[in-house]
Amino acid sequence: MQYTEIMVRYGELSTKGKNRKDFIKQLGKNVKRVLHNFDHLKINARRDRLHVTLNGENSDKVIDRLKDVFGIETFSPAMKVEKDIDAVKKVALEMVKDQYKPGMTFKIDTRRQDKNFPLDTHEINEALGSAIVDNIDGIKAKMNKPDITIRAEFRMNGVFLSSLTILGSGGLPVGTGGRATMMLSGGIDSPVASYLGMKRGVKLDMVHFYSPPYTSEQALAKAKQLTEKLTRFGGNIQFLQVPFTEIQEEIKEKVPEGYLMTVQRRMMLRLTAALTISRHCKGIFTGESLGQVASQTLESMMAINDVTNMPVLRPLTSLDKTEIIRIAENIDTYELSIMPFEDCCTVFTPPAPRTKPNLYRTRECENMIDVKGLMERALDNVKIVDIKPGEEFLNANEDVFSELL
């Protein structure tokens, strides 16, 4: 059925004491961003609940979007009805019929804010319950753990009926945990790490390295589409395209093969740290999982981290690949991540990278390239794209992608 409003209940943010107001305000902003293309919605974030007035918008589509927004514990779609008991009976009966299967039980739970309504709470429960029993064969009332609960709220501005409690994504509203950058590749891991960081309230700016002509426009579009997949958890995301061709070519030409990967990763982290500072962010997230590949051993991490003293957070450190894939499937990034477009991390990978690079030897190898000049030219040519929920980046390459599927 099509509902008239949705009542959103807060999760963990409801325990935030003096900061509660800021958390609720941020959640309201995030809900507006996620629902930006529904023109007629009215969103009101109050201390106890957030209310979404639908004003004729498709309630099923709005519900699908709300399920993913971090900071929401549960929500209930509701129907607003005029304060006439016969009208309330009609809608309550419709709600029960919409869910009823033989053998189910029900309960009426009435809250009467409007004390001037002519019937008291007990009389309203009796009137609605009788209407349901009289019109649905076999249904029985049950006060303790019924299958269907019809909640009737008699407010000053009307009666609001609801019967469903839908589970939200929990977590904290994106933006309440500070701001950081995310080193986003086109693979499986970094979108999952982004999801976990965002769930703790961190607003992420995506930093993506691309190396034309070694990486294609399709690979860039794929990274943008992965970013769009993540916008549904908290709204718009800034996508930073960092040119990396010149850097990779110079590293390939001047650095010994065993240290190509380590020096390349150091340059990526240097650039990300510079962007993080310039954008007033407080940390860097990566998709690294300990021991998964050569650059993710403790020795490699130490050699790479040497270029910055900023916090580098790795949400996937202790997860194995099976666990990471399971999360990727749940958040709908897996099928996109495995599309066979190589990113700049794989194009220049040496056949035998060092898994335990020596820190001092790494620094010596890095001195073989023009670190300062390469960084300046890359940073001067960064492009920033503001990615919104619902945007498409793969349509322009539809023929190419259809051949891969």
Residues at the binding site for ATP are: 183-184, 208-209, 265, 287, 296
Sign of CA dihedral 44, 50, 51, 54: positive
Using the CB atoms, write b or e for 182-191: b if 16+ within 10 Å.
Answer: bbbbbbbbbb
β-strands 105-112, 5-10: how paired? unpaired
Sign of CA dihedral 107, 109, 115, 117: negative
d(CA 81, CA 89): 10
Crossing angle of helices 85-99 and 121-135, rounded to 10°: 50
- Annotation: binding site: 183-184, 208-209, 265, 287, 296
- Assign 150 to helix, strand or coil: strand
Give the other-Cβ count within 10 Å of 134's Cβ: 11
What is the residue whose two structure tokens read 């005029």?
A: 82
Which DSSP string do the residues of 31-42 spell out, in sequence order? HHHHTTT-TT-E
Is 50 in contact with 6 (CB distance < 8 Å)?
no
Contact 201, 168 (CB under 8 A): no
